[in-house]
């Protein structure tokens, strides 16, 4: 029996698939944003508000990834946006192959911004490239300002951090300055957007960011 030395990281095959998917989507004019967060951070509410605010300025489609159920996709399609529900069958993250399969089930006319709402989890989604053009982490005020200390990889792999439920900040011991400092220590280039999808605070900065990043590709 012959021994073959490999020293390959386990995610090698996924990394290749992700690069291919990212390039193909770019060629079709589709901009994919991977949204990652803990469960209950307000991802679907943030997406809903963004769809409403950008109506007429951007075509937004949404891929909801969950272990089971389709409650999130129902909320999105109620807004008239193209959406699909992907079930991961127990898997705790989306990979490039699953993302491709989900996108294949959607109708695009070109120029869409697609939000991939990843499985609610701050660990494994950070380890698997989905093929997205940007990775965005969502952190809600009630989760606390110490999250960067607990889940450093998520902060390191994200291009932007959206801090949601800012309207609830007065009721929690949430130090926005501490989050910004801790996140920047892990990832100096990370863009940070404190928002409230309820009051609209900070939403226009977040939406301008999406539109300008799409121009950059």
Partner 1 sequence: MHELGIVKHVIRTLHDVAEENGVSRIGSVTLEVGEVSGVVLEQLVDCWNYFREKDDLVRGAPLFVETIEAVTFCTACEKTYGTVAHGKTCPFCGSGETYLLTGSEFSIKQIEAE
Q: What x-and-dash track marks residues 137-166 binding partner 1 by CB under 8 A?
A: ------------x-----------------
Closest approach, Cβ 182 to partner 1, in A, equals 11
Q: Kindly state the tokens that stand for 87.
A: 């079930």
* 54, 58, 79, 92: residue in contact with partner 1 (rule CB under 8 A): 92
Q: What x-and-dash track marks residues 10-39 binding partner 1 by CB under 8 A?
A: xxxxx-------------------------
* 3, 56, 177, 212: residue in contact with partner 1 (rule CB under 8 A): 3
The number of residues that bind partner 1 (CB under 8 A) is 23
Give CA–CA dist 140/168, Å, rounded.
9
Q: What x-and-dash track marks residues 168-187 binding partner 1 by CB under 8 A?
A: --------------------
What is the C-alpha R_g of the chain?
A: 17
Comparison of 54 and 123: residue with beta carbon closer to partner 1? 123
Comparison of 128 and 206: residue with beta carbon closer to partner 1? 128
**CB-based contacts of 89, cutoff 8 Å, min separation 6:** 67
91 binds partner 1 (CB under 8 A): yes
Query: If you ran DSSP here, which 8-state letter would residue 216 be given?
Result: H
**How far out from the chain centre does Cα 40 lie?**
14
Q: 46 near 138, Cβ under 8 Å? A: yes
The interface with partner 1 within residues 107-136 (CB under 8 A) comprises: 123-124, 128
- The distance between the two most distant Cα atoms of the chain, rounded to a whole number of Å, is 66
**In 78-150, which ranges are continuous DSSP H helix?**
96-104, 147-150
Give CA–CA dist 217/213, Å, rounded.
6
Q: Which residues bind partner 1 (CB under 8 A)?
A: 1-14, 90-93, 95, 123-124, 128, 149
């Amino acid at each position: 029996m012959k021994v073959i030395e490999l020293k390959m990281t386990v995610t090698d095959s996924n990394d290749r698939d992700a690069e291919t998917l990212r390039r193909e989507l770019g060629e079709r004019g589709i901009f994919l944003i991977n949204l990652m967060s803990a469960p209950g951070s307000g991802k679907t509410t943030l997406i809903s508000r963004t769809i409403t605010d950008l109506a007429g300025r951007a075509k937004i489609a949404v891929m909801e990834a969950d272990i089971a159920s389709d409650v999130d996709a129902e909320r999105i399609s109620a807004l008239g946006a193209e959406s699909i529900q992907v079930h991961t069958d127990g898997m705790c993250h989306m990979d490039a192959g699953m993302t491709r399969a989900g996108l294949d089930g959607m109708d695009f006319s070109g120029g869409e911004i697609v939000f991939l709402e990843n499985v609610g989890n701050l660990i494994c989604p950070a380890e698997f490239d989905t093929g997205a053009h940007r990775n965005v982490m969502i952190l809600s005020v009630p989760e606390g300002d110490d999250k960067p200390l607990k889940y450093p990889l998520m902060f390191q792999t994200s291009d932007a951090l959206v801090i949601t439920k800012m309207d609830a900040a007065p009721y929690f011991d949430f130090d926005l300055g501490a989050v910004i400092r801790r996140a920047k220590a892990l990832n100096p280039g990370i863009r940070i957007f404190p928002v409230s999808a309820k009051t609209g605070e900070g939403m226009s900065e977040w939406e301008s960011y999406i539109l300008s990043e799409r121009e950059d590709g």
